[in-house]
Amino acid sequence: MADLIDYLQFVLAPQALNGLSLGVAVVLMALGLTIIFGLLDVINMAHGEFYAMGAFLALTLAGLGVGFWALLVLVPLLMLPIGWLAERWLIARVFHSRDRHILTLLLTFGLGMILEDLLKLVYGPNTLRPENPIEGGTEILGMFLPNYRLFLIGFGLALIAAVWLVVFRTGLGAMVRAAAFDKDMASSLGVPVRRVYAGTFAFGVALAGLSGVLLAPIYSVFPTMGRDFILMAFTVVIVGGMGSIQGAVVAGLLLTQVQALSSLYISPVWSDPLVFGIMVLVLMVRPQGLFGRLGHA
């Protein structure tokens, strides 16, 4: 019995905590993706590069003396106009095209490649490691847990709850959901649909930038860092249901726990195939994913 308790306390629990911190990070990435898809029906292939931009912006501003707590506010605010302009200059131009799904996918894919190369030109290809803003650790139930990961879990869960409250419990969120459900009806009721679209895309980009700020101290900063998370974020969005906030949260926390705990029993190289296998299984049973879309929620 004592061995079982030790195993739970010193092996399973720390691994589950690592999975939770990774899960919160992936959910933050997936939230922006799923909100943009749920409203605009656009698969934003540049989302990972916006995440990298947020991390590099944080690194630059920190070098100028801006503190970590200010970065949590400043970087998303700086990413908002970038997202707004990307929607206005690129997405909006092909939004009413008959082939807009493939056109927007190709546009954002090309945009992502440009952004990645720009980051390489400006910052170089090397990996940069920001300082940990919250040093030390805390002992909980005999486990020594890094303070920054505890902060990431708490802050991330609070942010996810705040996004959910805005979308489902405010007038602004009602306008967003109405525009997602039926843009013509929403427009006839006075909802500024085009501005809602641009604002929502910008909000998704700002979330990606904020994720970059939060994850930079753990995973370092490099121009291709978006690729590491974007594949998992897309998997989460697909399993949860394209456009579902609840689905992104449930799928993100579930899949990262599977990834973290499975690495205790099988080689880590099999963790990703296991996660993608779950995605395939879910799509075979429920092609629409676990939950409905934003406009149908």
pLDDT tens-digit series, residues 91-105: 888 877 888 888 888
Q: Are 281 and 270 in contact (CB under 8 A)?
A: no
pLDDT value of position 2:
66
Compute the distance between CA of residue 94 and CA of residue 135 in angstroms, rounded to an integer. 47
pLDDT band at 111 (very low <50, low <70, confident <90, very high): very high
Compute the distance between CA of residue 106 and CA of residue 43 in angstroms, rounded to an integer. 10
pLDDT tens-digit map of 34-44? 888 877 788 88
Burial class (CB in 10 A: 0-12, 13-18, 19+), 74: middle
What whole-number percentage of the chain has pLDDT above 70? 96
Q: Is the dihedral of CA 270, 271, 274, 275 positive or negative?
A: negative
pLDDT band at 205 (very low <50, low <70, confident <90, very high): very high
The answer on pLDDT for 296 being more than 60 is no
